[in-house]
Structures are given as C-alpha cells and as structure tokens.
C-alpha cells in the first residue's frame, strides 16, 4: 500500500496505525525530535504588500483587465477583508498572495520577500506557509475527515506519529473531535468548512487566505465559522486575508477593509471608518443592505412642508453616528437640546471596533434649534432635517 492508499484502522489511516494506541483512550506520544514543527516566532511574519499589482487575462476578444495598479499593505496578525461586487477582481488579487495567479505588472511581497522571484522549491515552501480555504470546501469525498486533514502532511513526507499528533490537535482546535472517521457526505456545510480550515493549518502557516469561505453557509453557520476564524487569529497570531461580497462578514471579523471596483482599489481603511463614512459609490452600494432605512408607513407620514399638516406639527430629524468622534446617543441631552417632547420614531445602531454607527430618527418641537446650532451641540456626527409629522398629545 502506498502512502496515499489509505486503509482505515481505529479511525486513522492504516499507515499511521503503528504509532496510534489501539484503545480509544488517547495516549501521549513521545516521538523522536520532530521534523515538522511550527516556525520560530517572528513578529514580522505574515505581512503582505501589493506593489502596483496589475493582472490581465488573454481572451479571443482581447485582453481582460482584472486588476489595475493595486497598492496595499497588510500588517502581520491582522484580519484583512477584501470586498467588491462580482467581477471586481477579489479572487484574482487573493490568489496572487500564494502565486496561484502571477501578476502581469507589479510585485507581491510576503514577509518582505518578492515572491515573483521564487524558484519551484521556494514556491512550494511559500505555499506551505500560506494556507487557503475555499467556498466549496474542496474535500476528497472518498477520504475521511482525518485523511483529508492528514493528506498535505503525507505529501510533505512528515512522519506518521507527527501526522497523528498534528491532525488530532487541529481537529480539537476546530471542534471536530469524534468526527475522525466521518466522510464529507455525512457532514454539514459548517463541519466541512471546519475540515477545510484544519487542513489549511497543518503546516503552521503565517497567513490564511479565505476565498468566499462563508458564502455557501447559512447565517447561523456563517457566524460560527467567523468566530472560529477570529479565535484562530487571536490564538495563533496568523494573518487572515478574506474576500467576500457581504459587508456583514467584514463587520463581524475584519480589522481593515479594502473595496475593489472593476479591478481598482477605490477605498480602504479601518472597518469602523469605512462603514461610518463610505466615500465611494461602490462602498455605499455594498453597505446599503445593512442600512436602517425608513419603514414605508413612516416615510408616508413625513411631510416636506409644515404648512401641509393641519394642527400641531413636529420636526423630524435624522441624527447620524459615524464613529469618527466617539459619540454615542445621550438621550437626556437630546431632550435638552431639541426641547420636549422628543419621540424616537425609528433607528438602529451597531458597535464596530468600539465605535457607534447608525442613526436615530426623532421628532421634536418644530421651532427647535437650527441645523448649524445642532452641529455646535455635538449631539451626533451628522444631522438632516427630513420634514414634519403631525404631533398627537
């Protein structure tokens, strides 16, 4: 039997069985000094720099430009999100980090090394230090959970005892203890992705690439996978670079985000800043599904001119919080500045990286302070007068 022709014995590959206890109880392994171990700690490990990266694909109709002069720096240990609509160039950019795609122009630096200059052996070494997980998991259906995770180590010639040790600790890390013998067909989508994550970590990578890793999952499972990725980032200190078309994913896990549109970098910055003050139309469009829009009934009740309302009227104001100045709603002060009575008509706030984002829609006395006076009061970051509603005591 070859190293890859695996027979299963007690839940582990047959060619590992001589080093694995026959009982179900786990016995401490005492292998000879390992040939496969985590790399020495390096505070700079996991940095990525894109230096004016461009990518063109050849087609019968002519060149297709996927990336245009991308310049970005990703700091070690961060969770960096790349977002954009379909065709924006996200996958092309991500795949340049492990040179699955080679830039047509510019250079990619990983840990201050120009990876375009790597020979075949150095490229293999790079790819072992840059793990990758995929939208559709890419598991081998004829192999068990244990075998799928163990496969990269077997290909690398790692000793069976160390394979058993590494796979066991990774299955514990991703919460798949007891699933060693299971085949992919018997796993949920979230469990399959956990296998993919474990497999991507076998070589102690400095960087983990996530290619739409949650797009095929339901919202609850997406949340659990994002939590796992954040835990891995914090426990192992590795850099995570993920691409997605969902701003909700960026909000949940990322420290920094870059927005691509038609192959160009149009916006980048801390997540709280980009969410609070999106500057490019593409960013604003991507954020729209997360916006707290006005309900139809409230929209219909707001009149543009006070004179169109018979009887008492109140002014409707939007108080917006962008996170820029660390402000949060102070309802006592809102009442003092706007005058009583103040009613909360609608609103929603998120908390991102310690910053409040969102808006409150309130009604207040029609003869209250001007917008310029409100700006001076520092109740919120931005103000907008939406119209008037009837006031009912």
Strand partners, 348: 359
Q: How confident is the model at residue 135 (pLDDT cuts 50, 70, 90)?
A: confident
Give the domain ranges of the chain: 48-142+183-282, 296-390
pLDDT of residue 257: 97
φ, ψ at 391 (rounded to 5°): -105, 125
pLDDT higher for 25 or 199? 199
In this model, does residue 217 exceed pLDDT 80? yes
Among the residue ranges 47-51, 166-170, 245-249, 256-260, the one predicted with the least confidence is 245-249
Burial of 292 (0-12, 13-18, 19+ CB in 10 A): middle
Mean pLDDT, the chain, as a whole number? Answer: 87
- Local confidence band at 27 (pLDDT 50, 70, 90 cut-offs): very low
pLDDT tops 60 at residue 202: yes
Is residue 342 a contact partner of residue 313, using CB atoms and an 8 Å limit?
Answer: no
Query: How far apart are alpha carbons 90 and 107 in whole angstroms?
Result: 17
| Element spanning 72, H or E | strand 64-74
**Residues 93-103: tens digit of each pLDDT:** 999 999 999 99
pLDDT of residue 106: 97
Q: Average pLDDT in the 288-301 region?
A: 86
Residue found by looking up tokens 């050849």 in the block: 58
| Percent of the chain topping pLDDT 70 | 88
Tokens representing residue 204 in the block? 């102690």
Q: Provide the β-strand partners of residue 381.
A: none
CB 99 within 8 A of CB 262: no
Mean pLDDT to the nearest integer, 6-23: 41
- Over residues 44-55, the mean pLDDT reads 92
DSSP one-letter string for 299-346: HHH-BSSGGGSSS-EEEEEEEEE-STT-----HHHHHHHH-S--EEEE
Q: What is the pLDDT of residue 23?
A: 35
- Using pLDDT thresholds of 50, 70 and 90, give the confidence band for residue 181: very high
User: Given this model, what pLDDT does residue 291 score?
Assistant: 79
Alpha-carbon distance values, 319 to 71, 335, 388 (Å): 36, 13, 15
pLDDT at 340 over 60: yes
Structure tokens at 55: 């990518």
Model confidence band, residue 16 (pLDDT cutoffs 50, 70, 90)? very low
User: Between 240 and 357, where is the model more confident?
Assistant: 240
Residue 325 contacts residue 382 (beta carbons within 8 Å): no
Q: How confident is the model at residue 59 (pLDDT cuts 50, 70, 90)?
A: confident
CA angle 90, 270, 351 (to 5 degrees): 110
| Cα 119–Cα 54–Cα 215 angle in degrees, nearest 5 | 90
Report the pLDDT value the prediction gives residue 22, as an integer from 0 to 100.
35
Architecture of the 296-390 domain: 2-Layer Sandwich (3.30)
Find the mean pLDDT for residues 74-83: 97
Residue 229 exposed, middle or buried by CB count within 10 Å (0-12, 13-18, 19+): buried
| Amino acid 8: pLDDT | 39
- Omega within 30 of 0 (cis) for the link into 341: yes
What is the average pLDDT across 258-279? 95
Query: Which is it for the CA torsion 59, 61, 63, 68, positive or negative?
Result: negative
Residue 15 is predicted with a pLDDT of 46
The total number of residues written for the chain in this structure: 393
Angle, helices 189-200 vs 160-173, to 10°: value is: 130
- Average pLDDT on 160-167 reads 96
Instruction: Please state which of the four CATH numbers 1.10.3720.10, 3.40.50.300, 3.40.50.80, 3.40.720.10 is assigned to the domain occupying 48-142+183-282.
Output: 3.40.50.300
pTM, whole model, 2 decimals?
Answer: 0.82
According to the model, what pLDDT value does residue 44 have?
Answer: 61
Between 6 and 222, the higher pLDDT residue: 222
């Amino acid at each position: 039997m070859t190293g890859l022709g695996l027979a299963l014995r007690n839940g582990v590959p047959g060619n590992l069985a001589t080093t694995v206890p026959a009982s179900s109880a786990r016995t401490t392994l005492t292998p000879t000094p390992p040939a496969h171990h985590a790399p020495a700690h390096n505070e700079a490990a996991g940095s990525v720099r894109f230096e004016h990266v461009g990518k063109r694909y050849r087609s019968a109709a002519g060149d297709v430009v996927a990336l245009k002069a991308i310049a970005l720096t990703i700091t070690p240990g961060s969770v960096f999100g790349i977002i954009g609509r379909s065709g924006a160039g996200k996958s092309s950019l991500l795949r340049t980090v492990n040179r699955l795609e080679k830039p047509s122009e510019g250079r990619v630096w990983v840990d201050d090394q120009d990876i375009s200059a790597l020979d075949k052996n150095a490229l293999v070494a790079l790819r072992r230090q840059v793990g990758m997980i995929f939208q559709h998991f890419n598991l081998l259906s004829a192999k068990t959970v244990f075998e799928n995770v163990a496969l990269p180590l077997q290909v690398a010639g790692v000793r069976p005892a160390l394979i058993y040790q590494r796979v066991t600790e990774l299955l514990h890390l991703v919460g798949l203890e007891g699933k060693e013998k299971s085949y992919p067909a018997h796993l949920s989508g979230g469990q399959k992705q956990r296998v993919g994550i474990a497999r991507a970590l076998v070589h102690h990578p400095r960087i983990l690439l996530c290619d739409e890793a949650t797009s095929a999952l339901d919202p609850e499972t997406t949340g659990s996978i994002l939590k796992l990725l954040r835990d891995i980032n914090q426990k192992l200190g590795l850099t995570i670079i993920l691409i997605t078309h969902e701003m909700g994913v960026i909000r949940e896990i990322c420290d920094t985000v870059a927005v691509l549109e038609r192959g160009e970098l149009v916006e980048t910055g801390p997540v709280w800043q980009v969410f609070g003050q999106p500057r490019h139309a593409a960013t604003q469009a991507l954020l729209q599904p997360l916006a707290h829009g006005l309900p139809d009934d409230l929209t219909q009740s707001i009149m543009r001119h006070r004179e169109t309302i018979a009887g008492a009227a109140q002014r409707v104001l939007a108080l917006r919080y962008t996170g820029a100045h660390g402000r949060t709603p102070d309802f006592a002060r809102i009442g003092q500045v706007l005058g009583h009575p103040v009613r909360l008509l609608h609103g929603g706030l998120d908390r991102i990286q310690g910053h409040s984002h969102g808006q409150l829609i309130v009604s207040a006395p029609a003869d209250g302070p001007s917008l310029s006076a409100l700006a001076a009061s520092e109740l919120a970051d931005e103000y907008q007068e939406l119209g008037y509603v009837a006031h009912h005591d």
